[in-house]
């Protein structure tokens, strides 16, 4: 909450279900999208876009599409534990599905080799939308690495390449926060994000420090 008030616009990536608004929110499911839906007006926004869900329900591919729902100024009014926030605040949600890698492996294995390219292309479009909408800060995470079974090493490398190497996005955001929940014993997901994001972030800090010294 304190972070959100530092910036005029904060964009939050919603790890979306492509076919059901809010995922399993109405049935009490507990994944990332459902948590966002319980804590904010996100669900109210999503149900205003039936064409998004109709499209994905009518198409068989589990890679899904680059179609995105942008929910500006969405009020957040609850904490993760369900208690009400005394002073609600607004953020912008970016709703986009990752490919369902687990289901693809079982049902559409011919598309497995396409997943990395789709992830990269879709992540690039998500960041482009955030730039276009003027988001000053971003909250990202282990997009598609839960029930969709995408490889956290691949997802984290894609975000690292786009945010720290791509001239379109490098330095475009004042702050980027990766919120990663990993309750597994081996903690492979959080380890992958630590390994692939910390090093380029340190390089950016080093470049900024050198540039600052030169200005002095």
Q: What is the pLDDT of residues 71-94, one digit of tens each?
A: 999 999 999 888 999 999 999 999
Per-residue pLDDT tens for 174-195? Answer: 999 999 988 888 899 999 999 9
Separation between Cα atoms, residue 145 and residue 125, nearest integer Å: 19
Q: Range with the lowest mean pLDDT among 35-39, 98-102, 162-166, 205-209?
A: 205-209
Residue 199 corresponds to which tokens in the numbers above? 């090093």
The pTM of the full predicted model, rounded to 2 decimals, is 0.88
pLDDT digits (tens, 9 = 90+) for 4-31: 568 899 999 999 999 999 988 788 777 8
For residue 85, the enclosing domain spans: 2-215
Q: What is the pLDDT of residue 32?
A: 92
> Regarding beta strands 84-96 and 10-15, do their DSSP bridges make them parallel or antiparallel, or are they unpaired?
parallel
pLDDT at 110 exceeding the cut of 70: yes
User: What's the chain's average pLDDT?
Assistant: 90
DSSP string computed for 26-82: GGT--SHHHHHHHHBSHHHHHTT-HHHHHHHHH---TT--S--EEEEEEEEEE-TTS
Predicted local confidence at residue 38, as pLDDT: 93
Predicted confidence (pLDDT) at residue 215 exceeds the cutoff of 60: no
Measured CA distances, 190 to 34, 153, 183, 210 (Å): 21, 10, 9, 30
Please report, for the domain that includes residue 191, its CATH number: 3.40.220.10
Using a pLDDT cut of 90, give the percent of the chain over it: 77
Nearest to 38 by CA among 24, 19, 52, 17: 24
Domain count, the chain: 1
Provide the pLDDT for residue 212.
37
pLDDT value of residue 145? 96
pLDDT at position 216 is: 40
User: Is the Cβ–Cβ distance between 32 and 141 less than 8 Å?
Assistant: yes
Write out pLDDT tens, residues 113-137.
Answer: 999 999 999 999 999 999 999 999 9
């Amino acid at each position: 909450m304190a972070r959100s008030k530092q910036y005029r616009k904060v964009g939050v990536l919603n790890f979306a279900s492509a076919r059901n608004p809010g995922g399993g929110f109405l049935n009490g499911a507990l994944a990332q999208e459902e948590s966002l839906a319980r804590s904010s007006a996100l669900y109210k926004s999503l149900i205003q876009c039936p064409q998004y869900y109709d499209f994905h329900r009518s198409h068989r591919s589990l890679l899904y599409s680059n179609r995105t729902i942008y929910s500006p100024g969405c009020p957040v009014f609850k904490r993760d534990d369900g208690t009400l926030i005394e002073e609600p605040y607004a953020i912008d949600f970016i709703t986009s599905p990752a490919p369902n890698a687990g289901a693809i492996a079982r049902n559409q294995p011919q598309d497995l080799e396409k997943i990395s390219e789709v992830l990269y292309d879709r992540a690039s479009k998500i960041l482009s939308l955030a730039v276009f909408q003027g988001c000053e800060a971003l909250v990202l995470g282990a997009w598609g690495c839960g029930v969709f079974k995408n490889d956290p090493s691949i997802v984290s490398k894609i975000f690292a390449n786009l945010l720290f190497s791509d001239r379109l996005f490098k330095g475009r955001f004042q702050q980027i926060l990766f919120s990663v929940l990993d309750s597994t014993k081996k903690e492979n997901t959080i380890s992958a994000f630590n390994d692939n994001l910390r090093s380029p972030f340190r390089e950016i800090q080093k470049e900024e420090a050198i540039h600052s010294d030169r200005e002095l």
